[in-house]
Amino acid sequence: LQSLSFRIHINRRMLRTFPIPLIRRMASKAKRLKDDERDDAGLATLRGAGWSEVDGRDAIYKEFLFKDFNEAFGFMTRVALKAEKMDHHPEWFNVYNKVQITLSTHECSGLSERDIKLATFIETAASATQ
């Protein structure tokens, strides 16, 4: 009985500490974009900006080149802050001035609107940096 009441106490405490928007984000399941929804969601625009679809995987990819490491790291910091707010994190790799980014939503095992929104933000952040 003590164990059960302890669990209830923890759950009530957790509800008080998590803001409502975070709880809503955690509860909303991402939906995989169907082929006919992708261009309307913005994928065509991203293709025009240099994003490509990954072979053998439902994901998009782009490589960014910056002047130096500081510029690349500043860009990554801006993207990381946005990704954290979205609760949607990129797969990325950085060496000196190069940043390679792959976006896919693990929750739905493929491309979702979250990926399109984050990629669109990434484009804005990259153009502001370069």
Cα separation of 112 and 30, whole Å?
6
Minimal CA–CA distance to 116: which of 55, 40, 21? 40
Active site residues: 84, 88-89, 106-107, 115
* Tokens read off for 58: 């439902």
Q: What is the rounded CA–CA span in Å between residue 81 and residue 18?
A: 18
What token pair was written down for 85? 């707010």
Q: Can you tell me which residue has the tokens 């939906």?
A: 31
